[in-house]
């Protein structure tokens, strides 16, 4: 049987820790963690078996980092600015493949602003308790095994800015309530079992900077959900069942840097995409575009994928010597006149590479 430390010893240790942990800015000791937050975190970490000797002994905000490595992270951040107590505002537990459950106590951490549980092995469905975390701005649950549909309670997280759910098994249609989360700047939902269409009211999401949707089944979508988003820099709509003809006037996306429309069945003249010619990535392969490939798209340093668009034609210019130029043109009618090294059929950067940016 393990010996429990004497209460007096624990009290002295706590005092020493509190004295050592001076707030650098003010030279003041940190106040204690709110007892409700501390109890909830303790319950969560106990269920995940992440606490060692410190369980219930060290105040959580005095030891915010449990583990930090390229493989696994377990840490919190606290807001101690109120002076009399600290509140837990960030919880990051990532990379633990042995973590499979979402503990109910997690939803007692009601001051959380950021919750990153990506790259674990969480399974089952998302509990309705998420509705109690109404201050959340960051929700990263990507790369888990979550299933079921998006719970209605997610609609209560009106402050969400970053919602990452990619690479799970969530099913059902894309929830309409997302259109109400107008603070969203970063929405990534692909690699799941979701059904189209993409709701037209997504055009409300005027603050979007990164939109990555993909792998949708079911009903087809048109381009109508894309508005003149002033800040959009990533538009990735791979396999979204976009089957329409491109409109003659595309939405104005002045900040666009990454355009990925691969694997839809969009049609119309490829020159209609010219408003996006300054994008630093142009992936429009596996569609049904037609007509000559505009020279503006063919720029050294801009990865270009026009493959498998049977009716796209034109000529590719000489490949400049020494340039690391990524072009995918297989399966099109493009005339390369032997000017391009035909062995140059590289893997273009993928969603996964994008996430590092």
Which one, of 98, 80, 92, 96, lies nearest residue 34 by Cα?
Answer: 80
Rounded CA-CA distance 235/101 in Å is 33
Q: In terms of CB distance, is 57 or 66 closer to ligand NAG? A: 66
User: Which 3 state secondary structure label does DSSP give 249?
Assistant: coil
User: Which 3 state secondary structure label does DSSP give 146?
Assistant: strand
> Positive or negative CA dihedral for 288, 290, 292, 295?
negative
Q: In terms of CB distance, is 57 or 340 closer to ligand NAG? A: 57
Q: In terms of CB distance, is 307 or 326 closer to ligand NAG? A: 307
Q: In terms of CB distance, is 26 or 97 closer to ligand NAG? A: 97
Q: Which residue is nearest to ligand NAG (CB)?
A: 95
Q: What are the angstrom distances between the C-alpha of 128 and each of 3, 48, 54, 214, 332?
A: 40, 20, 31, 25, 49
Q: In terms of CB distance, is 132 or 333 closer to ligand NAG? A: 132
Shortest gap between Cβ of 124 and ligand NAG (angstroms)? 5
Rounded CA-CA distance 199/42 in Å is 40
Shortest gap between Cβ of 305 and ligand NAG (angstroms)? 17
Residues 6+ apart with CB under 8 A from 11: none
Residue numbers at the binding site for ligand NAG (CB under 6 A): 34-36, 39-40, 43, 48-50, 68, 70-73, 75, 77, 85, 90, 92, 94-98, 100, 105, 107-108, 110, 114, 116, 119, 121, 123-124, 128-129, 131-132, 138, 140, 145, 147-148, 153, 155, 158-159, 176-177, 180, 183, 206-207, 230-231, 265, 267, 288
Residue 222 sits at φ, ψ, to 5 deg, of -105, -170
Shortest gap between Cβ of 61 and ligand NAG (angstroms)? 12
Q: In terms of CB distance, is 220 or 271 closer to ligand NAG? A: 220
Shortest gap between Cβ of 169 and ligand NAG (angstroms)? 7
């Amino acid at each position: 049987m393990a010996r429990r430390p004497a209460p007096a010893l624990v009290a002295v240790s706590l005092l020493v820790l509190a004295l050592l942990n001076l707030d650098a800015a003010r030279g003041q000791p940190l106040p204690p963690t709110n007892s409700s937050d501390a109890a909830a975190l303790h319950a969560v970490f106990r269920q995940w078996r992440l606490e060692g000797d410190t369980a219930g002994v060290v105040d959580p905000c005095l030891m915010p980092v449990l583990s930090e490595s390229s493989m696994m992270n377990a840490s919190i951040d606290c807001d101690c600015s109120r002076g009399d107590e600290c509140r837990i505002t960030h919880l990051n537990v990532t990379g633990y493949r042995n973590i499979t459950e979402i503990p109910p106590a997690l939803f007692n951490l009601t001051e959380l602003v950021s919750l990153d549980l990506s790259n674990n092995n969480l399974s089952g469905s998302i509990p309705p308790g998420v509705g109690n975390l109404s201050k959340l701005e960051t929700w990263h649950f990507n790369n888990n095994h979550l299933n079921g549909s998006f719970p209605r309670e997610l609609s209560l997280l009106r402050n969400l800015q970053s919602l990452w759910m990619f690479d799970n098994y969530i099913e059902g249609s894309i929830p309409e309530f997302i259109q109400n989360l107008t603070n969203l700047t970063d929405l990534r939902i692909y690699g799941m079992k979701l059904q189209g269409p993409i709701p037209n009211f997504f055009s409300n999401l005027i603050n979007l900077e990164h939109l990555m949707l993909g792998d949708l089944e079911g009903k087809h979508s048109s381009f109508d959900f894309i508005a003149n988003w002033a800040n959009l820099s990533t538009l990735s709509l791979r396999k979204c069942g976009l089957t329409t003809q491109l409109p003659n006037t595309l939405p104005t996306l002045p900040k666009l840097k990454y355009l990925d429309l691969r694997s839809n069945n969009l049609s119309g003249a490829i020159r209609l995409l010219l408003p996006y010619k300054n994008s630093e990535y142009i992936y429009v392969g596996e569609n049904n575009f037609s007509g000559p490939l505009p020279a503006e798209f063919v720029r050294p340093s801009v990865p270009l994928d026009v493959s498998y668009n049977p009716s796209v034609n034109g000529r590719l210019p000489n490949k400049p010597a020494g340039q690391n130029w990524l072009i995918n043109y297989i399966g099109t009618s493009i005339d390369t006149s032997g000017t391009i090294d035909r062995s140059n059929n590289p893997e273009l950067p993928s969603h996964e590479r994008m996430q590092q940016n």
